[in-house]
Amino acid sequence: MANKRKDIMEIRQMILLKIQGKSNRQIAELLGINRNTINNYFQLLKTKRSHLRELKDLEEEELLGLINEESPPSTSKRQQELLSYFPSVLKRKRHVGFTFKKMWEAYKTEYLDGYSYSQFMEYFHKWNIKNEATLKLTHQPGDSLMVDYAGKKLHWIDKETGEVHNVEVFVACLPASGYLYVHASKSQKKEDFISSITKCLEYIGGVPKMIVPDNLKSAVSKASKYEGIANRSLRELGLYYGAVLNPTRPYKPKDKALVERMVRLVYEQIYFKISQEVYHSVHELNMRILELLEVLNDRPLSQLNCSRKELFLKTEKPTLQALPPQAYTLKEFQRSKVQKTSHVYMSKDKNYYSVPYRYIGKHVQLQYTNRIVEIFYNHHRIATHFRSNTIKAYTTKKEHLPSNHQFYLNWHPQLFMDKADDIGPSTGQYVKRLFEQSGHVETKYKAALGIIHLNKKFEISRIEKACQIAMVHPTSSYQRIVNILDRQLDMNLDLFEEHNKENTHIPAHENIRGQAYFLELLNHQNNNYESDNLKNEKHATESNGSHTPSTANG
Give the phi and the psi of residue 385 in degrees, each rounded to 5. Answer: -140, 155
How does 398-413 read in b/e, with b if 16+ C-beta sit within 10 Å?
eebbeeeeeeeeeeeb
Give the phi and the psi of residue 322 in degrees, each rounded to 5. Answer: -70, 150
Are the beta carbons of 167 and 274 closer than 8 angstroms?
no
Q: Indicate if 380 and 469 belong to the same structural domain.
A: no
Domain membership of residue 479 as a residue range: 411-503+511-539
Q: Indicate if 13 and 153 belong to the same structural domain.
A: no
Q: Indicate if 25 and 166 belong to the same structural domain.
A: no
- Does 293 or 5 have the greater pLDDT score? 293
Q: Indicate if 226 and 337 belong to the same structural domain.
A: no
1 part of a folded domain: no
159 part of a folded domain: yes
Q: Indicate if 388 and 252 belong to the same structural domain.
A: no
User: pLDDT tens digits, residue range 144-197?
Assistant: 888 888 888 999 999 888 899 999 999 999 888 889 999 999 988 888 888 899
C-alpha span between 430 and 471 (Å, rounded):
7
Q: Indicate if 339 and 303 belong to the same structural domain.
A: no
Q: How confident is the model at residue 51 (pLDDT cuts 50, 70, 90)?
A: low
Helices (H) and strands (E) in the chain, counts: 22, 15
Domain end position, chosen among 46, 68, 90: 68
Q: Is the pLDDT of residue 215 over 80?
A: no
**What residue spans of 205-327 are helical by DSSP H?**
232-241, 257-266, 272-274, 282-298, 308-311
Q: Give the distance, in angstroms, between the CA of residue 287 and the centroid of all CA atoms in the same chain.
A: 26
Q: Indicate if 482 and 354 belong to the same structural domain.
A: no
- Provide, for the chain, the percentages of residues in helix, strand and coil under a 3-state DSSP scheme, each rounded to the nearest 5: 50, 15, 35
Q: Indicate if 181 and 281 belong to the same structural domain.
A: yes
User: pLDDT tens digits, residue range 84-126?
Assistant: 898 888 878 767 678 888 889 999 888 888 888 888 888 888 7
Q: Indicate if 238 and 305 belong to the same structural domain.
A: yes
C-alpha span between 373 and 369 (Å, rounded):
7
- Does 170 or 73 have the greater pLDDT score? 170
Mean pLDDT of the chain: 77
Q: Is the pLDDT of residue 32 over 50?
A: yes
Q: Which positions ≥6 away from 420 have C-beta within 8 Å?
A: 427, 428, 430, 431, 432, 448, 451, 452
**Residue 436 CB neighbours (<10 A):** 10
Q: Is the pLDDT of residue 438 over 70?
A: yes
> Average pLDDT for residues 50-65, to the nearest whole number?
63
Least confident of 34-38, 192-196, 241-245: 34-38
Are the beta carbons of 357 and 401 closer than 8 angstroms?
yes
Q: Give the distance, in angstroms, between the CA of residue 32 and the centroid of all CA atoms in the same chain.
A: 78
Q: Indicate if 57 and 154 belong to the same structural domain.
A: no
Are the beta carbons of 252 and 230 closer than 8 angstroms?
no
CATH number for the domain that contains residue 224? 3.30.420.10
